[in-house]
Chains A and B, each alone.
Chain A
Amino acid sequence: MSDPTETDGTAGAGEAAESAQPASGGPGERHVRVVLVDDHRMFRTGVQAEIGQTAQTGVEVVGEAADVDQAVTVITATRPEVVLLDVHLPGGGGVEVLRRCAPLMSDAEQPVRFLALSVSDAAEDVIGVIRGGARGYVTKTITGTDLVDSVFRVQEGDAVFSPRLAGFVLDAFASTDAPPVDEDMDRLTQREREVLRLIARGYAYKEIAKQLYISVKTVESHVSAVLRKLQLSNRHELTRWATARRLV
């Protein structure tokens, strides 16, 4: 199982060379401390090379970890603002890291926020991490510039949805939507659904705002609301969704 991901790590490193130009809009004042959690050293090196030039990107990688125990130790010790978290990890996976770092996430003064970064294509993996408290999910094919953007968005408290994650979420809520008796908390509003759909179609927040004649801030708040519902929606519903998917 490790080889394919290793291959992907190489691909990520290759992309680094491609997108090594300074990230957009020379940040200067922006700064974020990041911990990388991934069991493939090559991939960590690749990401580090891509986003680690603090002078250009404003991202400072303050620690790395390769498994769950190490991750918890490093995160507790360094207290980063954002953790880039792989879904598949030895020792219980990303979900386990989230579970053990739950107190840090809800810390009022300086919360640690998690952004899932995965090569996995399985909806169960991804939804699991999001439900565990991650603030977003991006695939490992993401470019360096986009990754830096996502990290800052997460740092500011936004949710980051890749098109694929939006697809998974729509899927998850589509089947729970059938019986309208459920409490409102578990359902998506028409607007949230529209926003998710546009994300799944590959639109950026700015484009969505233009398309729906709303402000980017409103888009952000819709996305955050979806994330909250996903994290709070009751277990029973999502289990049913997961079983239904396997039956399809």
Chain B
Amino acid sequence: MPEAATAPVAEPRPPRKLYRSGDGRWLGGVARGLAGHLGLPVIWVRFAFVGLFMADGLGALLYAAFWFFVPLGIGGVDAQRPPSLVTSETSPDGRRRLVARKPDKGQIVALLLMVVVALVFVGNVDLGGGAKAYLWPTVLVGAGVALVWRQADNARRARWAEVGRHRRTVTLLRSVAGVLLVTAGVTGIFVLQGSAAHLGSVLQAALAVLVGITLLAGPYLVRMTQDLSEERLMRIRAQERAEVAAHVHDSVLHTLTLIQRNAESPGEVRRLARAQERDLRAWLYKPEGNGKDEDDEPTTLAEAVKRNAAEVEDKHGVPIEVVVVGDCPLDEKISAQMQAGREAMVNAAKYGGEGGAVQVFAEVEGRTVFVSVRDRGPGFDLDSIPADRMGVRESIIGRMERNGGTARLRAVPDGGTEVELEMERAENTS
């Protein structure tokens, strides 16, 4: 924990609860966790465990019990060592996340030392005659169990920290190694117990029992895991729904407040309502991720058209209905077309907005991108516009022609104006 490392004194301690330490641990993190809990140096706790281990292996039993029952946590406060395995860092989305680091050399040395101590212990201790023969298999089983348990810890930690996919093979290898060790140990015990001749029948019996248990417990286990994963899925969904609901309620309340305040000006009320409607649509009906980041620059035609329409609508208070058929990435020419289209929308909203909603239609057909902007206003005659008014000629027609497209303005039979913009997409984009 960076906070603990930088300001160990000033930091008020949270109520202490016993956790195993996930970072800087040698085996299960029990010693570090205990040390943090008791406020002792880790090395003392470790020595205590080693000492107890000498007393007929009591330390090992205790350690195993702690490992089994104490949950893995982040902590095991230890001022001597900065955290080495897991640190938390703040990701761009503001969430704190744990980052796994590679185990350092000290840890490997320590593990080796532990093994050596165990071997020496096993070699020296005298348990008397028959019992001693079982020691080796027991150590094997112990090592296998330790390997698998630690693996389980890692799997849990991997849920906090984002661990890369390549680790999965390592995970699998370790599990397999653990299982092999345990199997070897157990087989050893059997071999020692009876004569090797009985091994076959013993294995058969064991297999039969295993199969029986699987048959009996299998369905329950399968259902349990299914229930569990289903429950997790539901939880994720509920969380997502809660997020949407929170956003929606918040923004709706906001809009309603604004509407109450602006009740006398119908234009403003309409504008607010339209903006809110757009926002809600983006949240409810778009595929995830779309339309939620208002600040991103649009990268495709559909996004660009919708964004432009939304902005013009907000600015001029005229509803703009958008229909987009097909989609393509934006290139330079299309961007120019979008700007011309925006200009056309502004004109339509300004001069033709009284006739009702402005209708925008964009279609990608092969390499051709067609945009039409139509209003139902009083109509518009290009020739009657004074030559010094460059709005339409320059920013719509001129811009389209400079980029190799065409623009047509025409009066619609029953009133209103339609601007048609046509552009070929650039060759290099696919």
Contacts and interface: CB of A to CB of B under 8 A. Distances in A.
A29 interface: no
Nearest to B420: A201
A4 B284 contact: yes
Contacts of B277: 8, 11
A200 B285 contact: no
A164 interface: yes
A77 interface: no
Contact of B413 (A7, A163, A207): A207
Contacts of A167: 323-325, 361
B323 A164 contact: yes
B429 to A, nearest CB: 15
A246 B286 CA distance: 10
B392 interface: no
Q: Which of A1, A202, A204, A206 has the most CB of B within 10 A?
A: A202
Contacts of B365: 174
A166 interface: yes
B413 A200 contact: no
A203 B361 CA distance: 11
A202 B285 contact: no
B280 interface: yes
B70 interface: no
Interface string B274-291: 001100110011010000
A170 B252 contact: no
Nearest to B370: A197
Contacts of B285: 120-122
A108 interface: no
A3 to B, nearest CB: 7
A200 B361 contact: yes
A38 to B, nearest CB: 17
A211 interface: yes
Interface in B276-329: 276-277, 280-281, 284-285, 287, 321, 323-327
Contacts of B287: 246
Contacts, number: 64
Contact of B414 (A163, A207, A246): A207
A173 to B, nearest CB: 10
A164 B324 CA distance: 9
Residues of B contacting A: mostly: mixed
Contact of A201 (B357, B361, B414): B361
Interface residues of A, number: 28
B399 interface: no
A248 interface: yes
B414 A197 contact: no
Contacts of B248: 3-4
Given A170-B325, A210-B413, A163 B252 contact: no
Contacts of A8: 277
Nearest to B412: A207
Contacts of B273: 11
B252 A202 contact: no
B363 A197 contact: yes
A207 B413 CA distance: 7
A207 B284 CA distance: 34
Given A1-B284, A207-B414, A202 B249 contact: no
Instruction: Give the interface residue-count category, chain B.
Output: 20 to 34
Contact of B323 (A11, A166, A246): A166
Contacts of A149: none
A174 B326 contact: yes
Nearest to A169: B325
Contact of A206 (B249, B324, B359, B414): B414
Interface string A47-87: 00000000000000000000000000000000000000000
Given A174-B325, A207-B414, A202 B361 contact: yes
B374 interface: yes
Given A197-B363, A201-B361, A246-B287, A3 B249 contact: yes
Q: Which of A4, A11, A204 has the most CB of B within 10 A?
A: A4
Interface string B232-270: 000000000000000011001000000000000000000
Nearest to B273: A11
B372 interface: yes
Contacts of B323: 163-164, 166-167, 200-201
A197 B422 CA distance: 15
A202 B413 contact: no
Contacts of B418: 201
Interface in B331-383: 357, 359, 361, 363, 365, 372, 374
Interface of A: 1, 3-4, 7-8, 11, 120-122, 163-164, 166-167, 170-171, 174, 197, 200-204, 206-207, 210-211, 246, 248
Interface of B: 248-249, 252, 273, 276-277, 280-281, 284-285, 287, 321, 323-327, 357, 359, 361, 363, 365, 372, 374, 412-414, 418
A-B pairs, 10 with minimum CB distance: A202-B359, A167-B323, A121-B285, A201-B361, A122-B285, A170-B325, A4-B280, A200-B323, A210-B413, A201-B372
16 contacts: A3-B249, A3-B252, A7-B276, A163-B321, A163-B361, A167-B324, A170-B325, A174-B326, A200-B363, A201-B359, A202-B321, A203-B412, A204-B414, A207-B413, A246-B287, A248-B327
Given A163-B361, A200-B325, 17 more contacts: A3-B248, A3-B249, A4-B280, A164-B321, A164-B323, A170-B325, A171-B325, A174-B325, A174-B365, A200-B363, A201-B359, A201-B361, A201-B372, A201-B374, A202-B321, A207-B414, A248-B327
